[in-house]
Amino acid sequence: MQITGAARLAGIMGWPVAHSRSPALHGFWLAEHGIDGAYVPLAVPPERLEQALRALPALGFRGCNLTIPHKPAAIAVMDRIDSFARRVGAINTVVVGSDGTLEGSNTDIFGFRENLREGAPDWDPSGAAVVLGAGGAARSVVAALSDAGVREIRLVNRTMSHAEALSRDLAQSTIDIVIRPWSARATALRGAALVVNTTSLGMEHEPPLDLDLAALPIEAVVVDIVYVPLETALLAAAKRRGNRVVDGLGMLLHQGRPGFAAWFGTSPKVTPALRTAMLATLARR
């Protein structure tokens, strides 16, 4: 739709930013709701991040999303951040307040939870969860699982020091994070109710995730946060043996909802039409 001189503005800061799917996502919602607004890519190099964030109020932007490599560094520039974002150590959404202050939050946590709720409504958080990987995405996943009431997380990662750092930063009295070596990933599945791949393994142009699912109960839910391809080898194998599977596209779509609502004043939904449109966008790359 045409924008006017009164259009509401938001965007995504990244370096590089050309790969981002967020302009397509927010563009879909803007068109769907007939909103006079624009969501634009903002290519901001790391050394200019603070300057760019501080310019948002001056430019009349309602806020922005952040992608690689800005998610951790932006925290220091915020006037306020939510408690989850502080624990995770990364923000992906900035909202400019009416007084020009910057509020940061981490909606990847919300995105993961909503995707899981939608894809596996019967999942029982009282069972153990296995998280593969200990990078930025794993931090959001562990925070989301902890918030959902999971009490035992088996954290499996190639580099032990990364897993130890995650455990230190996200430890809480209500949650037990047990670190397992990468070589123990198959046995870590024994008796688990949930498995989440947060590593880059299985992503297009990356090696597949080599994981023997034999020890995993059939009732367990298997989530891959990778969404290109939509059905990873892990999800295909889990589906074949009868596990419920949840792909990563929903996390990408749901994480955009809180920012859109704050900037454009309408709560957007994740619909089959949106999924279809985003899949077409991903296929065109």
Longest dimension (CA), the chain: 60
Chain position carrying tokens 């909103």: 35
Which stretch, 117-125, 152-160, 240-248, 271-279, contacts ligand ATR (CB under 6 A)?
152-160
Q: How far is the CB of 5 from ligand ATR (least distance, A)?
A: 39
Question: What does the alpha-carbon distance between residue 90 and residue 138 come to, in Å, rounded to a whole number?
Answer: 12
Q: How far is the CB of 134 from ligand ATR (least distance, A)?
A: 5
Nearer Cβ to ligand ATR (41/135): 135
- Please identify which residue in 63, 111, 136, 256 interacts with ligand ATR, judged by CB under 6 A: 136
Residue 157 sits in the site that holds ligand ATR (CB under 6 A): yes
Give residue 49's identity as a one-letter amino acid code.
L
Which stretch, 80-88, 119-127, 131-139, 273-281, contacts ligand ATR (CB under 6 A)?
131-139
For residue 257, which of 92, 144, 97 has the smallest C-alpha distance? 92
Question: What does the alpha-carbon distance between residue 8 and residue 33 come to, in Å, rounded to a whole number?
Answer: 13
For residue 195, which of 235, 140, 164, 166 has the smallest C-alpha distance? 235
Contact characters 176-215, ligand ATR, x per CB under 6 A: ------x---------------xxxx--------------
71 as an active site residue: the answer is yes
Residue 104 sits in the site that holds ligand ATR (CB under 6 A): no
Question: What does the alpha-carbon distance between residue 163 and residue 276 come to, in Å, rounded to a whole number?
Answer: 36
Measured at the CA of 271, the angle between CA 15 and CA 258, to 5 degrees, comes to 50
**Residue, CB closest to ligand ATR:** 135
Q: Which residue in 21, 26, 62, 71 is the catalytic one?
A: 71
Question: What does the alpha-carbon distance between residue 235 and residue 245 come to, in Å, rounded to a whole number?
Answer: 6
Q: How far is the CB of 138 from ligand ATR (least distance, A)?
A: 6
Measured at the CA of 55, the angle between CA 50 and CA 56, to 5 degrees, comes to 105
Binders of ligand ATR among residues 69 to 98 (CB under 6 A) are: none
Residue numbers annotated as active site:
71
Residues that bind ligand ATR (CB under 6 A): 133-138, 157-159, 162, 182, 198-201
